[in-house]
Every structure is written in C-alpha cells, then in structure tokens.
Structure 1
Amino acid sequence: MKGEHDISVWYCPSDPVRYSFALGYGSGAASFKEFVEDPFLSGSFETPEAALAAGIEEVKAIEKA
C-alpha cells in the first residue's frame, strides 16, 4: 500500500500509562488484532514519540512489501 498513511498515537488499552499507534490509509484502518479492547492499535511504548516512531517504521515496512 503505497501512498499517504495516517499514524495516530493513543493510550495503550492494556496499560494506560503507555502508548500505542494506529495506522490509517485512505478511508480504512489497519487491524493488528493485538489488543482485544481495540484491534486497530499496536504496540506498548513508554512515550508518544516512541509509538510514533514505531508507526513510521511499520509504514516503511508496508510500503516495501
């Protein structure tokens, strides 16, 4: 999926002092199914910046595939 992606950072559903990221593309969203509470979030990071960086790396991996 090449093109413009949206990365948003949210509180982690399993640990409210940590952060997760979500990816959007066009009018859809990536479903990671990592958390039962929110299948559209991925990861558990200490800072919002770390979650954003992980989201950017995920987009780069998707674009290479």
Structure 2
Amino acid sequence: VLIVGRDWLDAPTFPAVWVFSLLTIGFGWFLLQPGLGLGWAASKTDNPWKARAFGLVAHTVFGLGMWGLALAV
C-alpha cells in the first residue's frame, strides 16, 4: 500500500502485487542464498534452474495470497 497508494485497496490489481513478489525473490537470490553458500540465485546447487523455478512459483503464490487478501478486505 505504501508503494501503490491507498486507492489500490479500493480496486486491487494482481500485476502490482506480482511485481512486488518478484522483486522480493531478489532478496533470496542475491542475499540469502549466497549467505547460505548456495551461490547467486542457487548457482552452486545441483539443479539451479529447478530451485529458481520453485522460487518463482512460491513467490507468485505469495503474490496471489496478497492479492486475495486485498480483495477480501
């Protein structure tokens, strides 16, 4: 709401929360995973593309949850 404004609560749109959820995955890819020794965006794992895809799906579900809650409010 701080980024898109209070008017967004009157008519929530999925693209706004989806962009936010995709931006949040950057923290995991470029801060958390390297800090855990997994490399940038899971590059040191056995199957980095699988880990990246799972992260994208998980954060998309996170975005859907935020959007659904905004619609319910």
Fold-level similarity (TM above 0.5): no
TM-score normalized with structure 1 length: 0.42
Structure with greater Cα Rg: 2
Instruction: Name the structure, 1 or 2, with higher relative contact order (CA <8 Å, separation 6+).
Output: 2
Task: Considering fraction of residues, name the structure with more strand.
Answer: 1
The two structures have a TM-score, normalised by structure 2, of: 0.39
